[in-house]
Amino acid sequence: MNECEAIGKKYLPVTRAESLNNTCLIDFKDPELKQEVEDLVMCEDRCSFEEDYEECMETCLDTIDKSVAGSIVVDKQTLEIKESTIPVSCSLFFVEEENGHGTYVFSLERQEEILKQLEKAGCDAMDGGWMHPHEFVPEPVEIEEEYPAICYVHVKSKGEGKCRLPVVLQILGMQKQQASLDAFIETV
């Protein structure tokens, strides 16, 4: 196992790890996230009315597989994130409506809270994106407003030796650690 693979496997389900000078390029796919996206997209249901069911299913499943692929470039010594595309569960940005009827809505406040945590951790150039379930089939038709099936976060360090991989993964709910988030960030 090479150095970058060892670094990656400590934090992520690695699919590829390569050394690039003093950095590691780590590609990964989270099988739990993939299952969540498959459950939300429901390829079989979406393709059941398509003329070419098999082609639709192949396209849908392939798109899901590609959508959950993430990539991070980190400094080998500090684990500072140099650039990234991190697929995450969209539930990270949704909160239950105040009426308490189990309806979840996208929350700008929750998004801002996460962005503030990332900024506090030394991250910059943060933006995101998402894909809705209807976008996974060859000829997408949006019948009604859908919750996104998968979300993405793009972060990189401000260049202060911070925005470290374990901290970012914990903020994004991808890393379970013993220390609280605030205590962990203070050590960075």
Instruction: Please give the average per-residue pLDDT across 143-152, as a whole number.
Output: 78
Confidence (pTM): 0.84
Q: Return the closest-CA partner of residue 42 out of 67, 64, 70.
A: 64
Q: What is the DSSP string of 7-71?
A: HHHHHS-EEEEEEETTEEEEEEE-HHHHHHHHHHH-HHHHHTTSSSHHHHHHHHHHHHHHHTEEE
Instruction: Please give the average per-residue pLDDT across 5-16, as a whole number.
Output: 96
Instruction: Please give the average per-residue pLDDT across 58-65, as a whole number.
Output: 96
Instruction: Please give the average per-residue pLDDT across 82-105, as a whole number.
Output: 82
Instruction: Please give the average per-residue pLDDT across 112-120, as a whole number.
Output: 90
List the chain domain ranges. 3-186
- Are the C-beta atoms of 7 and 26 separated by less than 8 Å? yes
Band of pLDDT at residue 142, cut at 50, 70 and 90: low
Q: What is the pLDDT of residue 143?
A: 62
- Are the C-beta atoms of 131 and 148 separated by less than 8 Å? yes
Which of 15-29, 65-79, 157-171 comes out lowest in average pLDDT? 157-171
